[in-house]
C-alpha cells in the first residue's frame, strides 16, 4: 500500500468499527422473524399439494438464503462504518459505494445517550446517540452508533462529555482522581420511590392501554370460531335488549357496560403500571463530576441520558391532569439543543423526574438547579380578573353554541325528536355550563408569574398545569403580543424567547404594566429602553 496523505491525520485518533457482534445479532433477529413467517408460508405451500419433506426443503432453502443475505449485508455495513475521536472532532464515515461522512466539533457535542434493548443486553452491547446543540429538523444533528460494546459506550460517554479535551496528562489524571472522589462523595439527586408507581395509572394513557388490551383479547377470541360465536350472541342479545326496552334487559346491558368500563380501567391500570416499571426501573438522577446531569433507568431496555449542566436553562414542572389531582407532577429539563417535536420518545428524554409528590419534585428541582429553594415552588403573582373573563368566554362559548343548536333543533322538529333535542339542550346547559365555568376558573387560578432569584417563573394551563422556571440569563429576546380584545381590558401576553426547550415561554394575559415591568426587571436593559412611563392621576 502506498502512503496516503491522510495518514498523518489518522495517527491522532485511529478509526474504530462498530462491535462485530452486530452481524450475529442482526442475523439472529432476522432469522427469528423469518422462521415465524415460515410457519404460515409452509402451511400454504403444503396445502398446494407438496409433500412435507418437499415443503421443508423449500422453507429451509428460503430461510438460509435470507439469513445469508442478511449476514452479508450486515457484514458490509459493519465494514463500511467507522468512527474516531480526535482532539477537536468526532468523525463518522460510511464508505460503501457512496461515502457519507459526518464530523462533529467536540465542543458542540451536548448529549451522549446510551440505550440498550434486551437483545443488545444479551450480547453486552449498547446504542450510543451523540447529539449536538443544533435543532435540526431531520436527524442530521447527531450520530448514532449501533451497536458498540457496553463498556466502550460508557468510555465514549465519559470521553466525549469531558470538557477539557486538550488538558495536560498529569492535569487530566488529577482531575480524574478528583472526579472519582467527587462521584463517591455525592449521593444521587434522586432515586426511585416505588410509591410513585401509583401515579402511573392516572395517566391519560390508561384508557387507551385498557382499550388495546380489550382489542387484543377480542382478536384472540375471534380466532376461535365457535367461541367467537359468543360475541355474536352477545351482540344479538344486546340488540334484543335494546329492542325490548324491557327494564330487566336494559339493566343487564347497563351492568355489562359497567363491567366493561371497569375491566378496561383495570386492564389499563395494570398496563400503565407495567409500562412504568419498564421505563423507570432502577431510576437514578446523578450529578456527574464532569458537569453533566445523568438519568439512568429502564428494566428491559436500559437508558442512560446525559445532559450538560451548561445547557440547562431551567426546569418545567408539569402536572398532568390526573396526576395533578393527586398533588404530584413530573420535572422536565429546559435545555438548549434538545430535539423536540419528535414524538413521545423525546419527551421522556428531557424528563428528569417521573411524576412524584410536589414536595419531592421541588426538592429535586432545587438540587438540580443548585438553588436553596425550588423556583417552581415560589408563590406567584395572580393575573387580573380580566383574564378570568376571557377564559370564561372561551370555555362557555362552545357549550352555549351547542346548546343553542339543540334549542333550534328542538323548535324546528316535533314529537320525540323535539323532546330529545330539548333534553340535550338542558343537559348541555345544566351539566356543561358549570363544568365549563369550573375549567375557566381553574385555568385562571393557574395563571401566575414571579421573579425568583435568577429565574423567571410562569405558570399556566387549564387541566394540565405547567410551571416553568427559566434562567433570566437564558432569555434571548421578548415578544409582547396584544390582541384587540386584550387591549380593551389592558392585558398582554409576554413571551420570553430562549434557545432552550420549546423556544419561547409565555406569561399569558398579564396586566400590561405588570407584564412589561416583569420583562424589564427580568432582563435589565433589553426591553427597558423601549418602555415609556407616564404618570396618571
Partner 1 sequence: MTESVRLRPPTNRLNPRCLAWWRVRFALVVLPLTLVVAVLGVLLVPALLILAAAIGVVGSAVSVLLPAWWYRVHRWEVTDRAVYTRTGYFWQEWRVAPMSRIQTVDTARGPLQQLFRLATVTVTTASAKGAVEIAGLDAQLASSLAEELTETTQATPGDAT
- Choose between 40 and 529: whose C-beta lies nearer to partner 1: 529
- Choose between 378 and 526: whose C-beta lies nearer to partner 1: 526
Distance CA(327)–CA(409), nearest Å, equals 43
Q: How many residues does the chain have?
A: 537
- Choose between 133 and 210: whose C-beta lies nearer to partner 1: 133
Distance CA(52)–CA(43), nearest Å, equals 10
Q: Which three cell numbers stand for residue 36?
A: 415465524
Smallest distance, Å, CB 177 to partner 1?
31
Smallest distance, Å, CB 6 to partner 1?
29
Give the CA count within 13 Å in the CB-facing half-sphere of 121: 11
- Choose between 413 and 482: whose C-beta lies nearer to partner 1: 482
Nearest to 361 by CA among 347, 379, 380, 375: 375
- Choose between 34 and 491: whose C-beta lies nearer to partner 1: 491
Smallest distance, Å, CB 12 to partner 1?
25
- Choose between 11 and 535: whose C-beta lies nearer to partner 1: 535
End-to-end Cα distance, the chain:
90
- Choose between 398 and 503: whose C-beta lies nearer to partner 1: 503
- Choose between 10 and 393: whose C-beta lies nearer to partner 1: 393
Longest dimension (CA), the chain: 102
Distance CA(141)–CA(157), nearest Å, equals 17
Smallest distance, Å, CB 519 to partner 1?
9
- Choose between 133 and 377: whose C-beta lies nearer to partner 1: 133
Smallest distance, Å, CB 529 to partner 1?
6
Please give the radius of gyration of the chain, using alpha carbons only, rounded to the nearest integer.
30
Distance CA(470)–CA(451), nearest Å, equals 10
DSSP-based three-state secondary structure for 282: coil
Binding site for partner 1 (CB under 8 A): 133, 135, 311, 336-337, 474, 476-484, 487, 495, 497-500, 502-504, 512-513, 516-517, 525-527, 529-537
Smallest distance, Å, CB 347 to partner 1?
17
What DSSP string describes 167-235? --HHHHHHHHHHHHHHHHHPPPSEE--GGGGGGGGGSTHHHHHHHHHHHHHHHHHHHSHHHHHHHHHHH
- Whether the CB-CB separation of 505 and 457 falls below 8 Å is answered with no
Q: Which three cell numbers stand for residue 125?
A: 452491547
- Whether the CB-CB separation of 473 and 310 falls below 8 Å is answered with no
- Whether the CB-CB separation of 201 and 274 falls below 8 Å is answered with no
- Choose between 3 and 484: whose C-beta lies nearer to partner 1: 484
Smallest distance, Å, CB 338 to partner 1?
11
Smallest distance, Å, CB 112 to partner 1?
19
- Whether the CB-CB separation of 145 and 83 falls below 8 Å is answered with yes
Nearest to 276 by CA among 203, 343, 200, 206: 200
Q: Which three cell numbers stand for residue 145?
A: 452508533
- Whether the CB-CB separation of 392 and 400 falls below 8 Å is answered with no
Q: Which three cell numbers stand for residue 344?
A: 413521545
- Choose between 156 and 338: whose C-beta lies nearer to partner 1: 338
Smallest distance, Å, CB 486 to partner 1?
9
Smallest distance, Å, CB 487 to partner 1?
7
Count other Cβ atoms within 10 Å, centred on residue 390. 21
- Choose between 203 and 466: whose C-beta lies nearer to partner 1: 466
What is the per-residue burial (b if ≥16 Cβ within 10 Å, else e) of 340-368?
eeeeeeeebbbbbbbbbbbebbbbbbbbb
Smallest distance, Å, CB 293 to partner 1?
17
Smallest distance, Å, CB 510 to partner 1?
12
Amino acid at each position: 500500500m502506498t502512503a496516503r496523505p491522510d495518514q498523518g491525520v489518522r495517527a491522532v485518533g485511529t478509526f474504530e468499527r462498530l462491535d462485530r457482534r452486530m452481524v450475529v445479532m442482526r442475523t439472529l433477529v432476522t432469522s427469528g422473524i423469518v422462521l415465524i413467517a415460515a410457519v404460515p408460508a409452509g402451511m400454504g405451500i403444503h396445502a398446494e399439494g407438496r409433500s412435507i419433506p418437499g415443503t421443508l426443503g423449500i422453507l429451509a432453502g428460503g430461510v438460509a438464503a435470507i439469513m445469508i443475505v442478511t449476514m452479508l449485508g450486515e457484514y458490509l455495513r459493519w465494514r463500511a462504518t467507522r468512527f474516531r475521536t480526535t482532539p477537536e472532532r468526532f468523525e463518522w464515515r460510511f464508505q460503501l459505494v457512496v461515502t457519507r461522512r459526518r464530523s462533529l466539533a467536540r465542543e458542540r457535542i451536548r448529549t451522549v445517550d446510551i440505550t440498550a434493548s434486551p437483545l443488545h443486553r444479551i450480547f453486552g452491547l449498547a446504542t450510543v446517540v451523540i447529539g449536538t446543540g443544533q435543532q435540526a429538523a431531520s436527524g442530521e444533528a447527531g450520530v448514532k452508533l449501533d451497536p458498540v460494546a457496553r463498556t466502550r459506550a460508557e468510555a465514549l460517554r465519559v470521553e466525549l462529555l469531558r470538557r477539557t479535551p486538550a488538558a495536560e496528562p498529569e492535569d487530566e489524571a488529577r482531575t480524574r482522581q478528583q472526579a472519582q472522589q467527587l462521584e463517591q462523595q455525592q449521593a444521587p439527586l434522586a432515586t426511585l420511590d416505588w410509591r410513585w408507581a401509583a401515579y402511573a395509572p392516572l395517566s391519560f394513557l390508561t384508557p387507551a392501554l385498557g382499550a388495546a388490551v380489550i382489542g387484543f383479547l377480542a382478536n384472540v377470541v375471534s380466532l376461535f370460531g365457535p367461541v367467537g360465536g359468543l360475541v355474536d350472541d352477545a351482540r344479538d342479545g344486546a340488540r334484543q335488549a335494546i329492542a325490548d326496552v324491557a327494564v330487566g334487559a336494559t339493566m343487564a346491558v347497563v351492568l355489562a357496560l359497567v363491567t366493561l368500563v371497569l375491566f378496561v380501567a383495570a386492564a389499563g391500570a395494570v398496563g400503565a403500571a407495567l409500562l412504568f416499571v419498564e421505563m423507570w426501573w432502577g431510576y437514578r438522577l446523578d450529578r456527574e463530576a464532569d458537569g453533566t446531569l445523568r438519568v439512568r433507568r429502564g428494566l428491559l431496555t436500559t437508558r442512560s441520558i446525559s445532559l450538560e449542566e451548561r445547557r440547562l436553562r431551567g426546569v418545567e414542572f408539569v402536572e398532568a391532569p390526573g396526576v395533578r389531582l393527586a398533588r404530584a407532577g413530573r420535572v422536565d429539563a429546559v435545555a438548549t439543543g434538545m430535539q423536540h417535536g419528535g414524538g413521545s420518545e423525546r419527551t421522556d428524554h428531557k424528563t428528569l423526574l417521573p411524576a412524584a409528590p410536589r414536595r419531592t419534585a421541588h426538592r429535586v428541582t432545587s438540587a438540580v438547579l443548585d438553588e436553596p429553594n425550588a423556583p417552581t415552588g415560589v408563590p406567584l403573582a395572580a393575573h387580573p380578573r380580566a383574564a378570568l373573563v376571557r377564559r370564561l368566554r372561551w370555555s362557555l362559548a362552545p357549550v352555549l353554541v351547542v346548546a343553542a343548536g339543540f334549542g333550534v333543533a328542538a323548535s324546528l322538529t316535533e314529537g320525540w325528536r323535539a323532546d330529545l333535542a330539548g333534553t340535550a339542550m338542558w343537559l348541555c346547559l345544566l351539566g356543561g355550563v358549570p363544568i365549563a365555568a369550573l375549567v375557566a376558573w381553574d385555568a385562571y387560578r393557574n395563571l401566575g408569574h414571579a421573579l425568583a432569584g435568577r429565574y423567571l417563573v410562569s405558570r399556566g394551563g387549564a387541566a394540565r398545569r405547567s410551571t416553568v422556571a427559566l434562567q433570566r440569563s437564558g432569555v434571548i429576546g421578548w415578544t409582547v403580543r396584544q390582541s384587540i380584545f386584550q387591549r380593551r381590558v389592558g392585558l398582554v401576553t409576554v413571551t420570553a424567547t430562549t434557545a432552550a426547550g420549546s423556544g419561547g415561554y409565555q406569561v399569558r394575559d398579564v396586566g400590561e404594566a405588570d407584564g412589561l415591568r416583569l420583562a424589564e426587571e427580568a432582563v435589565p436593559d433589553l426591553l427597558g429602553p423601549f418602555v415609556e412611563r407616564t404618570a396618571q392621576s
